[in-house]
Amino acid sequence: MTIRSRPDDAAPVPTHEPDGAAYDRDLYSWSLEQARLVREGRWDAVDRENVAEEIESLGRAQFDKLVDTLRDLLLHFLIWDHQPQRRTGSSIVSIKERRIELEQILADNPGLRPRVEEAVARAYRRARLRAVDETDLDPQRFAETCPYSSNDIVSRDFSA
């Protein structure tokens, strides 16, 4: 097999892929083959069902990224509120960084905006578990549901 580099210096792309590279056996080769077939407009040869599944998984990955960012942000809130002795300038910087990340995720994926409340609920459950682990506080000290409003999440002041 000959390997050529893509003009944009991305990873090398094999110039010849085995016909019918199996989706479940070799995702890498399968994805390259499917991309080639789409670029060539060979729609009849595209593995439509698995291509659709992979495209959907990209969307799910963006939602998961939103949840992960919110989890990290909410964990900082919980530790800030329940262990004041752990408040540092570094904590404030981490909160600011997560907020920037949150803004970027939503700017890049405006279709996620209607799902923010769902993401907050999922993220809070995970943040609460981590807060219990990281603080060694009684789980009852932390609310069962997220006590922070959307406004708190994006604009609560942590400078003091």
Q: Residue type at 143? A: A
Q: Does residue 14 sit in helix, strand or coil? A: strand
Can you tell me the mean pLDDT for 4-33?
A: 66
pLDDT in tens, 41-88: 999 999 999 999 999 999 999 999 999 999 999 999 999 999 999 999
* pTM of structure: 0.80
Between strands 13-14 and 3-4, the pairing is antiparallel
Using pLDDT thresholds of 50, 70 and 90, give the confidence band for residue 10: low
For 113-122, what is the mean pLDDT?
97
CB 86 within 8 A of CB 138: no
CA distances from 88 to 8, 79, 96, 131 (A): 42, 11, 13, 17
Task: Tell me if residue 150 falls in helix, strand or coil.
Answer: helix
Domain layout of the chain by residue ranges: 3-46, 59-154
Phi and psi dihedrals of 17, rounded to 5? Answer: -105, 145
Name beta bridge partners: 14: 3
pLDDT confidence of residue 110: 97
